[in-house]
Each structure stands twice: as structure tokens, then as C-alpha cells.
């Protein structure tokens, strides 16, 4: 009995040493793992931040380009008074519609610096340049009846409930843009549609 106690007493310090060694090695492995993980995550985060900054810079440049492209010429289509598609009660819509169409490179020709000199020194005044906006309005006038018809067809197919919401108005604008772009056939592009006065009665 005494021998068994002595043997158990000898094993306890060895077992304790083994446990301490295992725990110490696990702690060391955990520290090494945490350190490696920290370094890897730090590198990944810095790479992500730099890529996000690069993307934001590119987007900023793209937005700047798109802002220049998106500025168009406003064409007022006038007022519309039309019946809506409500079944129970007759509802009317009074709306003012304007469209913004894209510019062409030829719309605003750059002035020739030699043309400002006034000729050959004989006091001749330079001929006034044609108004590009008037030319664009004249060009769009040939499409106006078809464009107005597309607007009337689109809006009169809506109910007052549909047009009472902001989402309903935006949907109608998108559909009008698509309809008018089909009419223009690529000559110009409608960038946006604006509703001025918008009254449902």
C-alpha cells in the first residue's frame, strides 16, 4: 500500500510537468497564431483601404465626367390636361412637362479666333453666329407632336393613386424617357423628364 502511494507520488510531479509543458506550448502556439493572424489582417485591411481609396478616386473622376455629359438642353413641352385611368371617379391631371436632351458636338461650335478680327482691316464686323439653342429648339419641334402624344398616352394610362406617390411619378418619368428615346431614334437622348406643376383633381 505504501509502495502504491509512493509510485503515485512519483507520477504526480511528472504528470504536472507534462501538463505544464502542454499548457505552455498551447499558450505559445496561441500567441504565435494571434501574432500571425494580426499581421495578415493588418495587411489585408491596409490593402482593402488602399483599394477603396483608389476606387473612390476613380469614381470621383467618373462622376466628374458623367456630370459634364449629363448636362443637356431643356425643352419645354408645355402644359397637359388629361383624364386619368381611375374607374370609380373621373380624375384629371394638370401637369407641365419638360425634357432634358443630350447635346451634340456640333451644337456649340467653337469660335474661330481669326473670325473675331473683323475681316481684313476694312472695319467689317464679324457676322453674328447663329443661336445654337434656337437651332436645337427648331430641331426638337419636328418631334414635339409625337413626344406630346407619348406623354399623354403614358400619363393617361395611370390612376391618381399611382401618380400620387413619388415612386409612381418616377416610374412614369422613366417610361416617358424610354418612349421619347424610341421616337428620337438615337438622334438625341433624353437624359431626364421634369414635372413642373402637378395637380390631380
The radius of gyration of the chain from alpha carbons, rounded to an integer in Å, stands at 38
Tell me which residue has cell 434656337.
134
Give pLDDT, residue 86: 87
Select from 109, 179, 169 the least CA-distant residue to 143: 179
Q: Which three cell numbers stand for residue 170?
A: 418616377
How many Å separate Cα 108 from the centre of its chain?
27
DSSP class per residue in 44-99: HHHHHHHHHHHHHHHHHHHHHHHHHHH--EEEEEEEEEEE---SSS--EEEEEEEE
CB-CB contact of 54 with 62 (8 Å)? no
Lowest mean pLDDT of 13-17, 57-61, 180-184, name the range: 57-61
Give pLDDT, residue 151: 92
Tell me which residue has cell 371617379.
89
What is the chain's mean pLDDT, rounded?
A: 78
Tell me which residue has cell 504528470.
15
Give pLDDT, residue 197: 87
Nearest-5° Cα angle at 130, 182 to 69: 45
- Look up the CATH number of domain 73-114+132-200: 3.30.479.30
Give pLDDT, residue 1: 47
Q: Which three cell numbers stand for residue 168?
A: 409612381
Task: Report in angstroms the alpha-carbon separations of 191 from 70, 75, 107, 145, 178.
Answer: 7, 11, 16, 19, 10
- Which residues are CB-contacts of 118 (< 8 A; sequence separation ≥ 6)? 124, 125, 126
Top-ranked range on mean pLDDT: pick from 64-78, 108-122, 128-142? 128-142
| Count of CB atoms situated within 10 Å of the CB of 193 | 22
- Which residues are CB-contacts of 83 (< 8 A; sequence separation ≥ 6)? 90, 91, 92, 93, 156
**Higher-scoring residue by pLDDT: 10, 147:** 147
**Mean pLDDT, residues 100-111:** 73
Element (H, E) at 26: helix 2-70
Top-ranked range on mean pLDDT: pick from 7-21, 95-109, 151-165? 151-165
What confidence category does residue 62 fall into, taking pLDDT thresholds of 50, 70 and 90? low
Residue 115 has pLDDT above 70, yes or no: no
**Mean pLDDT, residues 33-37:** 84
Lowest mean pLDDT of 14-28, 91-105, 122-136, 174-188, name the range: 122-136
Give pLDDT, residue 139: 81
What's the whole-model pTM score? 0.55
Amino acid at each position: 500500500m505504501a509502495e502504491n502511494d509512493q509510485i503515485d507520488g512519483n507520477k504526480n510531479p511528472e504528470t504536472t510537468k507534462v501538463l505544464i509543458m502542454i499548457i505552455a506550448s498551447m499558450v505559445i502556439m496561441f500567441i504565435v497564431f494571434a501574432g500571425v493572424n494580426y499581421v495578415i489582417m493588418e495587411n489585408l485591411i491596409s490593402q482593402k483601404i488602399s483599394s477603396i481609396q483608389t476606387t473612390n478616386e476613380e469614381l470621383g473622376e467618373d462622376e466628374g465626367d458623367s456630370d459634364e455629359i449629363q448636362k443637356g438642353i431643356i425643352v419645354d413641352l408645355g402644359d397637359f390636361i388629361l383624364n386619368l385611368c381611375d374607374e370609380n371617379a373621373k380624375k384629371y391631371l394638370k401637369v407641365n412637362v419638360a425634357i432634358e436632351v443630350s447635346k451634340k458636338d456640333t451644337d456649340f461650335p467653337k469660335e474661330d479666333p481669326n473670325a473675331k478680327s473683323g475681316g481684313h482691316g476694312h472695319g467689317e464686323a464679324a457676322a453674328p453666329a447663329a443661336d445654337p439653342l434656337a437651332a436645337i429648339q427648331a430641331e426638337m419641334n419636328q418631334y414635339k407632336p409625337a413626344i406630346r402624344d407619348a406623354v399623354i398616352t403614358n400619363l393617361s394610362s395611370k390612376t391618381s393613386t399611382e401618380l400620387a406617390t413619388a415612386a409612381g411619378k418616377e416610374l412614369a418619368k422613366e417610361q416617358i424617357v424610354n418612349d421619347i428615346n424610341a421616337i428620337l431614334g438615337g438622334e438625341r437622348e433624353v437624359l431626364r423628364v421634369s414635372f413642373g406643376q402637378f395637380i390631380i383633381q
